[in-house]
Structure 1
């Protein structure tokens, strides 16, 4: 086989893995995790699910996500990622659909925990799998396409949930089960591991490797704060908009806008990463996200909610992509563990966010205070990232 044929075959394989990863994130994250945001208002109105209970369900899902991250960090590089991904994809789909088969809060807690566990494994392992495949073929700039799967899943579920839930909230969960099964069947054979290839560190990775001990701790803190700050809006945005005077009709659209904005955002932030490195785009994205979270509170009308949803949707997956890719570059010989550790910090923030927000909302009877506090957390994340870049003497890194 000629060199060009080998190269073409390698690209075809990495393309299949990229498509498979995109759809896995659509199912595990866009549907398995974030569809809860759109279904929550229906559960609150039809079965009187309290804000505190809603917060606990979100938190237990994030706890499963956190446990998965730390478990994934213990997996050896020789473990078959594709097999684990297939098992957890089935678990994620089943536990999503079973939410509509019971009214027991106790069973919901178990199901959301398992769903969080499976989605966490899928995110970490699929990220590692796709990054390995793209790096081996020197196509790492395509990583933005992979993370766009989350936004696609959010937009897809946001469009379908109002249709599936016409008669009952149960229809939303069961309808998403059917959609997820169809999507999984399409890409099932694409879940494969790339051929082992030796890949040397490029100039960007070498510079990150030198700065590893200085910048990585700051990156962990920032990503943990991001998990704490963003999850409040990700959990309660639709519920907040639904209770704004004259805005109830727009609540479902707000989450669809988030998903639509998220799909191309990762490609944009990937382009920024190629031009400016990781740090500058990460700081800029955090600032825009903070504005996006508070904007619906400051301007509680269609304009404020729409712009806020665009800024939020256009940054939350971009931030994850930038942070995860940076972490892998900082730990080039231990990428799987680096991604898992980052996801663990992120997951810790996601657990604390919904519980804290739920208590604040029950006390103040307002979503606005919780959204304002979430904005403050994101502002702190910006400050920490700036401090980290200065303290780590990252001038060369910021211009990679």
Structure 2
């Protein structure tokens, strides 16, 4: 097997997974792993919420920007820029504690994550040579789960050897710089390939009533994702008798996410995307609520499984459905979907820290989050019944 063959489907999927580990893991999710340690010594919960919100604002700006990248070679260029920015913004957190620099770096890291996820996934989808890319894209999006688990394991190794959270950021910078080389090489096109260098026009006709409903539902999923995606270890650590249990739960989230993509995508192929999305969002809403009514460790672990086992799969389901609906230029609808998701991500950390500071615990933030997810479920149920969608 030639691992340097740019046209190998296996290599393309491996490169896509690694790109997600760098763009989404190193540039975003490891912040959640390191948050408890950073809260102990350096930052406040409110500042953490602002950092998270700005990170997602950067992600949102990158998603909108991705919609207007019309040329495949340009997509490759911006994907590579995203990989570099993901590494540099991680380095910033290792070498300074200047709050202004941190705020700027988190915005740029969010932009980098969008290049890795939105543009990178579009490149992967365009390069893969399968008649039905559903299962392959399910494997690709498992990279989100890998990004959580692998980056969390890296931080655990650093802490095991008595390293600090700043040491962890430095190790992650080096780790990301090394592994990013592979996707930057593989996810490229020959400049002579006309099928990959045509300019795509933005077709407004793809934004049907159903697609608008889908965008609204993905907004609610963005909200549903972000509370636990930012604060889960601290949520668990704040529960009586579960101090220190949060980081283990976060690792379980990542492991659950690895396998969930493939399972949910196969279920979608058999029973339809919308039905499976509704089921996954229902499970996620239940997982959000579990820490509000129990401190039983088994149920808390189940909450992590429900979260990791749904949010990664839901990203894969929404993005793959968007790719199917968009036709020849998947990045347009993928970008629009991620924009809706991103708006939810920006809003959620802000109301979470306000409600948590007001109430003294995370319960109210989790209640509001679950209600918003349920709103998205109701929208999709309405689409099935009224619009008679067949997806």
Cα displacement (A) at 1:117 = 0.6
The answer to whether residue 372 in structure 2 is matched with residue 381 in structure 1 is no
Aligned residues: 377
Cα displacement string for residues 12-42 of structure 1 (whole angstroms, at most 9, x for unaligned residues): 5332222111100011112211111111111
**For 1:301-340, what aligned pairs fall within 5 Å after superposition?**
301-340=296-335
1:5 is aligned to none
Is contact 1:242–1:249 with CA below 8 Å preserved after alignment? yes
Structure 2 CA distance for partners of 1:318 and 1:192, relative to 1, 3 Å: same
From 140, 146, 151, the equivalent of 2:140 is 146
Offset of residue 196 of structure 1: 5.7
- TM-superposition CA deviations, 1:212-246 (whole Å, max 9, x none): 62310100000011101220111111011111122
Partner-residue secondary structure (3-state), 1:248: coil
- Deviation per residue, 1:199-224 (Å, 9 max, x gap): xxxxxxxxxx9996231010000001
Provide the residue aligned with 1:256 in structure 2. Answer: 251
Match of 1:189 in 2: 185
Q: Which moves more between the two structures, 310-319 or 122-131? A: 122-131
- CA shift digits 1:338-372 (9 cap, x unpaired): 11111111101000000110111111111121112
Give the equivalent residue in structure 1 for 2:8: 13
Choose from 375, 381, 390 the match for 2:385: 390
Give the C-alpha shift of residue 93 in structure 1. Answer: 1.0
Task: Choose the corresponding residue for 2:222, options 202, 224, 227.
Answer: 227
Question: In 2, are the aligned partners of 1:46 and 1:169 still within 8 Å (CA)?
Answer: no
Match of 1:3 in 2: none
Partners of 1:135 and 1:59 lie apart in 2 by 37
**1:362-385 superposed Cα distances (whole Å, 9 cap, x missing partner):** 111111211121111111111111
- State the distance in 2 between where 1:304 and 1:159 align: 23
- 2:351 matched to which residue of 1? 356
Contact 2:134 2:265 in 1 (8 A): no
Matched with 1:218 is 213
- Please name the residue that 2:201 is paired with: none
Q: 1:183 and 1:25, CA in 2 relative to 1: closer, same or farther beyond 3 A? A: same
Note the C-alpha offset of 1:197.
Answer: 5.3
CA distance in 1, matches of 2:299, 2:194: 49
- The aligned residue for residue 338 of structure 2 is 343
| 2:27–2:112 CA contact under 8 A, matched in 1 | no
1:60 touches 1:112 (CA, 8 Å); kept in 2?
yes
Aligned partner of 2:35 among 21, 34, 40:
40
Query: CA 1:101–1:10 in 2, change beyond 3 Å: closer, same or farther?
Result: closer
- Normalized against structure 1, the TM-score is what? 0.89
Match of residue 168 from structure 1: 164
Instruction: Provide the TM-score with structure 2 as the length reference.
Output: 0.91
CA distance in 2: counterparts of 1:35 and 1:279, whole angstroms: 31
* Structure 2 partner of 1:23: 18
Q: Answer whether contact 2:9 2:129 (CA < 8 A) is retained.
A: no
Describe the superposition over 1:71-105 as per-residue Cα deviations: whole angstroms up to 9, x where unpaired.
11111134432222112101111101221211111
Greater mean alpha carbon deviation, residues 235-244 or residues 257-266: 235-244
1:88 correspondence with 2:88: no
Identify the residue that residue 59 of structure 1 maps to in structure 2. Answer: 53
Distance across 2 between alignment mates of 1:221 and 1:266: 22
The answer (yes or no) to whether the contact 2:86–2:109 under 8 Å persists in 1 is: yes
- For residues 71 and 387 of structure 2, the distance between their equivalents in structure 1, rounded to whole angstroms, comes to 30
CA distance in structure 1 between the aligned counterparts of 2:334 and 2:250, rounded to whole angstroms: 27
What do residues 86-137 of structure 1 show as CA deviations (whole Å, max 9, x unaligned)? 1210111110122121111111101101000111122111111111223655
State the secondary structure of the residue aligned to 1:32: helix
Unaligned runs of 5+ in 1: 1-8, 199-208
Contact 1:215 1:389 survives alignment (8 Å): no
Q: Which residue of 1 aligns with 2:44?
A: 50
